[in-house]
């Protein structure tokens, strides 16, 4: 039975069954390969086209447009492109607002002009002082920026707690001392501490500078600023802890051939209350300064154009009533003037100068003299 030959029908049925199994397997393989095939990778050109297509499109928004029609992402992206990126230090957040900076700049610019006027008179030369920078930094950073030795005046600011510092570096301190001692003020670089005499001289300068600073603060807050001590080594000054924020004001000073820096350092915890008053009074003070400057210019212009009468007379001599009644025609009155050739020069009827009468080109004239002249015996 087993050795019987297979008929043609059975052969055809077997081939047909094998053909169907082969087609089904091929179809399953194609489905499996489609499901497990790796995703295609985009080329760089395709990525660029995709980014270009998804970039924000500039569009004009009509007032009647519905809020839901505005693409929030496009507006945010547009603002980010126009925004200025600034660095921010999270370890020391800024505590000075724009109002504080404007008020401090106005106050210390006025202080710089007043201090320049005082030094110009004291040093008998033109002094220029300019407030060039106002910044916030750590107290440790400020100490590390100072030279050793230097000249630092530590001052109190009652009723505020704590102390402030006024620093004058040595390239500026030595020329000031030299001029006040009668020298020329030539710039000299000395890497040494001040002597006792030099400390006495620079202490007087710092006391006057702090008195002018006190006057500058009077418009915003009643402060009594007093110099406590003078230090040459800044590391010995414990005005604040190393990490505490301080406000630094830099002043650039120039006179003759000497140039140097002065700096004012205020611990933030000390001056915090004063900053509140400054923010409220800063704009008013700045406006007052500008108005006063304009007013002074107008007044000086008008004063220079005023006309005043000037007259000259001899010093009067007393006479009694009896002598006056006895006077008659032909009598000679002797002037008892103890100062020979002394006359009084009157401006608008008020005695202002003493002078000597004389003649110039055939016209009577008077030479103005000092209040006291030993050669001519003229005294006021």
pLDDT digits (tens, 9 = 90+) for 80-113: 555 566 565 555 555 667 777 888 888 888 899 9
Query: Partners of 313 in the beta sheet?
Result: 344
Sign of CA dihedral 65, 67, 70, 74: positive
Whole-number CA gyration radius for the chain: 46
Statement to judge: residues 291 and 375 lie in one domain: no
- Whether residue 11 is contained in a domain is answered as no
CATH number at residue 356: 2.30.330.10
Statement to judge: residues 279 and 342 lie in one domain: no
- Whether residue 10 is contained in a domain is answered as no
Checking 346-355 for CB contacts under 8 A at 24+ apart, the result is 346/310, 346/311, 346/312, 346/313, 347/308, 347/309, 347/310, 348/308, 348/309, 349/309, 349/311, 354/378, 354/379, 354/380, 355/312
Statement to judge: residues 104 and 137 lie in one domain: yes
Q: Average per-residue pLDDT in the chain? A: 76
Residue scoring higher pLDDT (191 or 371): 191
Cβ(110)–Cβ(249) below 8 Å = no
Spatial neighbors of 255 by CB under 8 A, at least 6 apart, are 119, 120, 123, 125, 126, 127, 128, 175, 185
Statement to judge: residues 136 and 252 lie in one domain: yes
The total number of structural domains that make up the chain = 2
Tell me, what's the pLDDT at 234?
83
Query: Partners of 138 in the beta sheet?
Result: 245
- Whether residue 16 is contained in a domain is answered as no
Statement to judge: residues 190 and 213 lie in one domain: yes
Cβ(360)–Cβ(370) below 8 Å = no
Tell me, what's the pLDDT at 283?
47
Of 250, 283, 301, at which residue does a domain stop? 301
- Whether residue 92 is contained in a domain is answered as no
Statement to judge: residues 289 and 328 lie in one domain: no
Tell me the whole-structure pTM to 2 decimals. 0.51
- Whether residue 263 is contained in a domain is answered as yes
- Whether residue 163 is contained in a domain is answered as yes
- Whether residue 320 is contained in a domain is answered as yes
Statement to judge: residues 237 and 364 lie in one domain: no
Of 280, 301, 322, at which residue does a domain stop? 301
Does the structure show a pLDDT above 80 at 133? yes
Q: What is the DSSP string of 77-138?
A: HHHHHHSPP----TTS-----HHHHHHHHHHHHHHHHHHHHHHHHHHTS-EEEEEEEEEEEE
Statement to judge: residues 344 and 370 lie in one domain: yes
Statement to judge: residues 110 and 254 lie in one domain: yes
Tell me, what's the pLDDT at 269?
82
Q: What is the pLDDT of residues 67-80, one digit of tens each?
A: 444 444 444 445 55
Statement to judge: residues 136 and 272 lie in one domain: yes
**Mean of pLDDT values over 206-234:** 88
Catalogue the E-assigned strands of 172-244: 224-231
Burial of residue 138, with CB atoms counted within 10 A of its CB: 0-12 exposed, 13-18 middle, 19 or more buried:
middle
Lowest mean pLDDT among 10-14, 258-262, 375-379: 375-379
Tell me, what's the pLDDT at 65?
47
Report the half-sphere exposure of 215 (CA within 13 A, side-chain side). 12
Tell me, what's the pLDDT at 235?
82
Statement to judge: residues 340 and 296 lie in one domain: no
Distance CA 138, CA 127 (A): 31
Q: Give the residue numbers spanning the domain of 191.
A: 98-301
Statement to judge: residues 233 and 267 lie in one domain: yes
6-10, 82-86, 165-169, 221-225 — most confident range: 165-169
Residue scoring higher pLDDT (73 or 191): 191
CATH number at residue 252: 3.40.1550.10
Burial of residue 317, with CB atoms counted within 10 A of its CB: 0-12 exposed, 13-18 middle, 19 or more buried:
exposed
Residue scoring higher pLDDT (214 or 36): 214
- Whether residue 44 is contained in a domain is answered as no
């Amino acid at each position: 039975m087993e050795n019987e030959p297979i008929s043609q029908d059975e052969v055809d049925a077997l081939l047909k069954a094998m053909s169907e199994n082969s087609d089904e397997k091929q179809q399953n393989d194609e489905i499996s390969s489609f499901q497990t095939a790796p995703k295609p990778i985009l080329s760089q050109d395709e990525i660029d086209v995709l980014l270009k297509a998804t970039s924000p499109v500039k569009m004009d928004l009509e007032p009647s447009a519905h809020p839901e029609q505005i693409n929030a992402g496009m507006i945010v992206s547009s603002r980010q492109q126009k925004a200025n990126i600034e660095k921010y230090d999270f370890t020391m957040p800024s505590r000075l607002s724009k109002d504080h900076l404007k008020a401090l700049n106005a106050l210390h610019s006025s202080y710089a002009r007043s201090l320049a006027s005082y030094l110009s008179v004291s040093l008998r030369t033109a002094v220029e002082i300019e407030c060039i920078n106002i910044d916030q930094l750590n107290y440790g950073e400020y100490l590390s920026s100072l030279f050793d030795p230097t000249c630092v005046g530590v001052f109190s600011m009652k009723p505020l707690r704590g102390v402030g510092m006024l620093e004058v570096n040595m390239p500026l301190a030595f020329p000031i001392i030299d001029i006040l001692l009668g020298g020329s003020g030539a710039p000299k670089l000395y890497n040494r501490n001040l002597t006792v005499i030099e400390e006495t001289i620079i202490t007087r300068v710092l006391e006057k500078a702090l008195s002018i600073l006190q006057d500058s603060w009077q418009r915003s807050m009643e402060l009594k600023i007093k110099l406590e001590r003078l230090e040459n080594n800044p590391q010995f000054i414990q005005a604040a802890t190393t990490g505490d924020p301080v406000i630094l004001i830099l002043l650039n000073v120039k006179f003759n051939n000497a140039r140097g820096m002065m700096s004012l350092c205020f611990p933030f915890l000390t001056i915090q209350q004063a900053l509140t008053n400054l923010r409220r009074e800063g704009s008013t003070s700045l406006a007052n300064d500008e108005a006063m400057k304009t007013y002074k210019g107008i007044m000086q212009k008008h004063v220079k154009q005023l006309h005043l009468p000037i007259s000259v007379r001899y010093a009067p001599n007393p006479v009694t009533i009896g002598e006056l009644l006895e006077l008659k025609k032909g009598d000679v009155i002797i002037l008892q003037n103890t100062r020979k050739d002394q006359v009084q020069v009157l401006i608008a009827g008020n005695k202002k100068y003493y002078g000597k009468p004389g003649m110039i080109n055939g016209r009577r004239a008077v030479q103005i003299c000092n209040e006291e002249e030993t050669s001519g015996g003229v005294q006021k």
